[in-house]
Amino acid sequence: MKRTTFWGRDENDERLVEQIIEGKKTATCTPKCWYDALPEEATEVGEMLEVFSKKGNYMCTIEITKKYEVPFGQIDDETVRGENCASYEEFRKDHIFAWENDLKREGKELNDHTIIVVEHFRLVK
Q: What is the pLDDT of residue 4?
A: 85
pTM (two decimals): 0.89
Q: What is the pLDDT of residue 35?
A: 93
Q: In a 10 Å sphere around its CB, with 0-12 CB exposed, 13-18 middle and 19+ buried, how is residue 77 labelled?
A: exposed
Q: What is the pLDDT of residue 6?
A: 82
Beta strands 27-31 and 48-52, pairing class:
unpaired
User: Mean pLDDT of residues grouped by 10 in the chain (125 residues)?
Assistant: 79 82 95 91 94 89 97 96 95 94 95 97 95
Q: What is the pLDDT of residue 17?
A: 87
Q: What is the pLDDT of residue 23?
A: 94
DSSP line for 52-97: E-TTS-EEEEEEEEEEEEEEGGG--HHHHHHTT-SSHHHHHHHHHH
Nearest to 79 by CA among 36, 35, 117: 117
Q: What is the pLDDT of residue 10?
A: 66
